[in-house]
Amino acid sequence: MAELNGNPVTLKDLESLALTNYGHFTSMRLEDGTVRGLSLHLDRLARDCRAVFGVELDRERTLNYIRKAADGLIGVAGLRVTVFDPAIDMGRPSGAKDPHILVNLRPGSAMPPPPLTAKTFTFTRDNAQVKHIGLYPQLRIRREAQLAGFDDAAFIEPDGRVSEGGTWNLGFVDRDGTVIWPDAPVLPGTTMLLLQSLNTPKQITTPVQLADIPNMAAAFATNVTIGVRSVSKIDEVQFPQDHPVLAALRDAYAGIPGERL
C-alpha cells in the first residue's frame, strides 16, 4: 500500500522519484499501532527536510498521513515515509521546495534475523548524517560483498576508522563487556539512539580502528528492521553468535515501549 499526501499514489506521482531520485526517508517498525522511537523518526524527517529542501516539515500533517495509512492495521508491519518534491527539475534542484509525503506499508519480519557476515570496504557515505534516498553506492558495495561470499558491507574511513554498515549501525562489545559505538561519520539510527539513551549495559562512543576489530569480544548491527542482530564475521575475524551483552541489548530494546500513533 502506498499513499502520497494521504491519497492513493499514481504512477505519475512517482515519476520524478524514480527518474530524479532526490529526497530523504525514514523506516519504522509498526507494532499494533505503536512505533518505538516515533518521536526520533519525526525529528529525523524534520531535520533532514531542512537539509535536503531548506524548508520546515509539517510534523503534525506528516503524522496524520502515517496514521491514515496505518489505520486499522493489526500486528507487525514495516512503514516507510519518503519525502520528495514531485515537481523537481533535474536542471534546477534548488527549486524543489514543496516536499510531499509518501507512506508505504509492507509486511513486517521477525526479529532478530540470523547472524550477519560483513566484508569491509573503504567508503564514506555522502552526507552521512542524512537518511537520503541515494542508495546506489551502498547497494553497489553490498553487491560486491555478497559476490565475495558475505551478507553485507561494513565501511571503513580512509583513516582506518570503522563507521557503519550498508544500511545499519555497527557496534562492538569489548573484552570487559562494554558496548562500543564507533566514533565516525554515521547515520544516527533510531535503534542506536534508543539503546544509547538506556546506557544498559555500559556504553561508550569512541574511535574504533580496523586493526581493533580482532580484539573485540562481539559485534552487532542495529536498525529498526533487524533490532539487534549478531555479526558473526567481519572479513576473516569470527565472533560468537551468542554473547550475554548482545542478549542484554536485545532485552533492553524489547523493553522500550512503543509510542502510539
pLDDT on residue 199: 76
Dump strand ranges (E) for the chain: 2-4, 7-8, 24-31, 34-35, 76-84, 100-107, 116-122, 152-156, 162-165, 169-173, 179-182, 203-206, 218-223, 227-234, 237-238, 259-260
Give me the residues of the chain with pLDDT under 70, please: none
Beta 2-4 vs 76-84: how paired, if at all? Answer: unpaired
pLDDT on residue 110: 78
Look at the domain 116-260 and name its fold: D-amino Acid Aminotransferase; Chain A, domain 2 (3.20.10)
Beta bridge partner(s), residue 101:
83
pLDDT on residue 5: 97
pLDDT on residue 72: 87
Task: Tell me the domain boundaries of the chain.
Answer: 2-107, 116-260
pLDDT on residue 112: 78
pLDDT on residue 9: 93
pLDDT on residue 111: 78
The grid cell for 254 is 524489547
Look at the domain 2-107 and name its fold: D-amino Acid Aminotransferase; Chain A, domain 1 (3.30.470)
pLDDT on residue 218: 98
Model confidence pLDDT, tens digit, residues 119-172: 999 999 999 999 999 999 999 999 999 999 999 999 999 999 999 999 999 999
pLDDT on residue 182: 98
* Burial class (CB within 10 angstroms; exposed 0-12, middle 13-18, buried 19+) of 235: middle
pLDDT on residue 223: 96
